[in-house]
Structure 1
Amino acid sequence: MLNIDQFELYSVAIITFLAVMSPGPDFAMVSKVSLLKGRRDGILCALGISAAISVHLAYTLLGLGIMFANNLWVLNTLGYLGAMYLIWLGISALWPDIKALFSRTKPKQANESLKIEKPSQNKLSRNSSAFWSGFACNALNPKTMLFIVSLFSQVISTDTSLLMELGYGAYIALAHFIWFTLVACLLTSARIQQKVLVFKIWIERATGLLMTCLGLRLLIN
């Protein structure tokens, strides 16, 4: 029978809850995918974010997390990669307008962007894209790395069993999935989607600008 430290258990639960709900790149990514591609893709993006927790958990349990956290170049490298990824996503969303600006052609209108895709085409690539977008966003997020490393080094005791640590990791991943699935479902409700149909192109521009700004902020800091 597992010897469970109640204080440790509640601490992990509360800290994880607060960390997951704090706004950041993951929230921006799920919001973008959900609003522009729909509920299914939003949930797949949430699943990708949840799966990426296993990457941070793996190197933390192997003892590499503290070494990474104590080496500034590792944090800087991870931060630069994450920042460049967000900037790339932001520019990709803004690219039709950038291209139209330089070529003096009319940018794609909202009604043109709402054309229904054939179910037989690009379904697998869309699902894969939504999942890996979420996965990469979380895996390259230095804040997630510091959160998990700090949690396992400062809150979770060294006497805690490996099975219990894996349980904590599963809880953290599940918390991410549940929260961002709720975000995806909320943003794809009928009432929200009716407004999205009208302002879709502006939402894409706004999220593209937001991701670019987040990336630049990470790059500068």
Structure 2
Amino acid sequence: MPADNSLPIILTVVAAHFLALISPGPDFLLVVRSALRNTPRHALGVALGIALANGIYIALCILGVAAVLAHSLWLMTVLKIAGGLFLLYVAFHALRARRSDYAFISAPGAAHDATALQTAPSFTREFALGMLSGLSNPKNILFYLSLFSVVLTPQVGNGFRIGLGLWMTALVFLWDAAIILVLSQQRVRRAFGRLAFYLDKMAGALLGLMGAKLLHSVAHAQR
């Protein structure tokens, strides 16, 4: 594909993707919650899981499979139900958490404290949560499908498509990882240490509302 034609596509994707990344949603709230509750090493599991889930949907869009999936009413319904139940699950655990669960956040040397590392969720568990969050969010596949349907014309070569997909997947991880690393700084952790309990409750409530909204949309569509 000629370079002069690829520049508008790149700029369009960069702008649209960046706006989507900075818009608060279930994935963003999950990243913030994980960063406030866990050590950076464990929290990065969420970022990796979300990025991989986005990468799967991006690959499906590039291959043209996503268009078929998006037009499958039953599959989108299943995604909405799964997404709603998953968000309610995360919200439930956030709302029932105790103050003691956040004690290690503001404690000196918390990132290296053996007890904190033993009680904090594992990298694998956080990765699974991130993956489930990304895959069960129907807005992800619809966003990439609508974006690629505009920018990926028949004139766009396979090399450009693959490069674009890899770049977008990497950007998702880097953005979420940056949020985690900022919230993991000692000064930030000390500042948020006293508020983490309440912030997690707020995040849990918002996630619960999003989950309930998804399930309500399914119930409303069945009428």
TM-score bin, normalised by smaller chain: 0.7 to 0.9
1:102-125 Cα deviation digits (max 9, x unpaired): xxxxxx4337853954488578x7
Measured at CA, do residues 110 and 201 of structure 1 come closer, stay the same or move farther in structure 2, by a change above 3 Å?
A: farther
Cα distance between partner residues in 2 of 1:86 and 1:173: 22
Q: Which residue of 1 aligns with 2:83?
A: 82
Q: Which residue of 2 aligns with 1:30?
A: 31
Q: Which residue of 2 aligns with 1:202?
A: 198
Q: Report the Cα offset of residue 170 of structure 1.
A: 0.8
Cα RMSD (Å) of the superposition?
2.4
Q: Which residue of 2 aligns with 1:103?
A: none
CA contact 2:52–2:169 (8 Å) conserved in 1: yes
CA contact 2:40–2:180 (8 Å) conserved in 1: yes
Q: Does 1:94 align with 2:84?
A: no
Q: Does 1:147 align with 2:143?
A: yes
Q: Which residue of 2 aligns with 1:187?
A: 183
Cα distance between partner residues in 2 of 1:112 and 1:143: 31
Q: Tell me, what secondary structure is at the counterpart of 2:195?
A: helix
Cα distance between partner residues in 1 of 2:117 and 2:149: 48
Cα distance between partner residues in 2 of 1:172 and 1:182: 15
Q: Tell me, what secondary structure is at the counterpart of 1:110?
A: helix
Q: Which residue of 2 aligns with 1:110?
A: 100
- In the alignment of these two chains, the number of paired residues is 208
Cα distance between partner residues in 1 of 2:187 and 2:117: 28
Residues 73-82 or 163-172, more deviating: 73-82
For structure 2, the residue ranges without an aligned partner over 5 or more in a row are 105-109, 218-223
TM-score by length of 2: 0.82
Structure 1 counterpart of 2:80, one-letter code:
G
Q: Report the Cα offset of residue 71 of structure 1.
A: 2.7
TM-score by length of 1: 0.83
Q: Tell me, what secondary structure is at the counterpart of 2:24?
A: coil
Q: Which residue of 1 aligns with 2:107?
A: none
Q: Which residue of 1 aligns with 2:221?
A: none
Q: Which residue of 2 aligns with 1:61?
A: 62
Q: Does 1:166 align with 2:157?
A: no
For structure 1, the residue ranges without an aligned partner over 5 or more in a row are 97-107
CA contact 2:102–2:196 (8 Å) conserved in 1: no
Q: Which residue of 1 aligns with 2:14?
A: 13
Cα distance between partner residues in 2 of 1:158 and 1:112: 52
Q: Tell me, what secondary structure is at the counterpart of 1:23?
A: coil
